[in-house]
């Protein structure tokens, strides 16, 4: 992932890029970071509710076809219940048949806001779940090393055997036992 959010990659689908453009537009019209964070929370709550509904994807797809129903849905559901910037964006998305982009928009909005606030997203992958104490130690060491506020996501991968893999943006730091064994195997093969 590119930290600035301005560069598209070959891995981006057109719909993800479009969701990113909506996210950037929403963030651009919200200069106050605390308000931007509250809008992000509202977006996340909307997506969470939609994920809880079994037929949400079909519903959003149907709204994509019938723009007037989509507009009525947004007006009845969100008018006066969400911040004005978000309501305007939802109406614009409804008019353009783009409500199905809400999930991608929400993820990209949070990423862009984190970048704007100087927060780094860090993914830590381990073979086993870390205790709270060890996770706290890892987070404080990473924050110190990176000299930044960090947001950590933990993942499990038993194939690592031990150690950890840390991803910060597009940088990967592999201190796993599996990676060390692979390096050792390669070194032994070249020396033999």
pLDDT digits (tens, 9 = 90+) for 8-31: 443 457 778 899 999 999 999 998
> What is the reported pLDDT for 133?
94
> What is the reported pLDDT for 12?
54
Domains of the chain: 14-115 (1.10.520), 119-191 (no CATH)
- Tokens 């509250």 belong to residue: 38
Residue 147: half-sphere exposure toward Cβ, Cα within 13 Å: 0
Residue 98: exposed, middle, or buried by beta-carbon count in 10 A (0-12, 13-18, 19+)? buried
Asked whether the whole model's pTM tops 0.75, one would answer no
pLDDT digits (tens, 9 = 90+) for 77-92: 999 999 999 999 999 9
pLDDT digits (tens, 9 = 90+) for 50-75: 888 877 767 776 666 688 888 898 99
């Amino acid at each position: 992932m590119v930290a600035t959010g301005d560069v598209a990659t070959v891995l981006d689908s057109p719909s993800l890029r479009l969701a990113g453009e909506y996210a950037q537009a929403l963030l651009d019209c919200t200069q106050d970071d605390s308000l931007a964070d509250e809008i992000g929370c509202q977006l996340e709550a909307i997506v969470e509710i939609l994920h809880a509904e079994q037929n949400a994807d079909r519903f959003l797809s149907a709204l994509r076809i019938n723009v007037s129903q989509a507009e009525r849905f947004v007006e009845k559901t969100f008018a006066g219940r969400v911040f004005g910037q978000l309501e305007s964006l939802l109406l614009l998305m409804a008019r353009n048949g783009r409500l199905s982009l809400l999930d991608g928009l929400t993820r990209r909005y949070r990423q862009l806001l984190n970048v704007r606030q100087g927060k780094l997203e860090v993914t830590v992958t381990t073979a086993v779940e870390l205790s709270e104490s060890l996770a706290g130690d890892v987070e404080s060491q990473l924050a110190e090393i990176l000299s930044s506020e960090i947001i950590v996501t933990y993942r499990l991968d038993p194939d690592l055997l031990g150690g950890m893999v840390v991803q910060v943006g597009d940088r990967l730091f592999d201190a796993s036992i599996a990676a060390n064994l692979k390096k050792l195997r390669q070194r032994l093969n070249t020396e033999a």
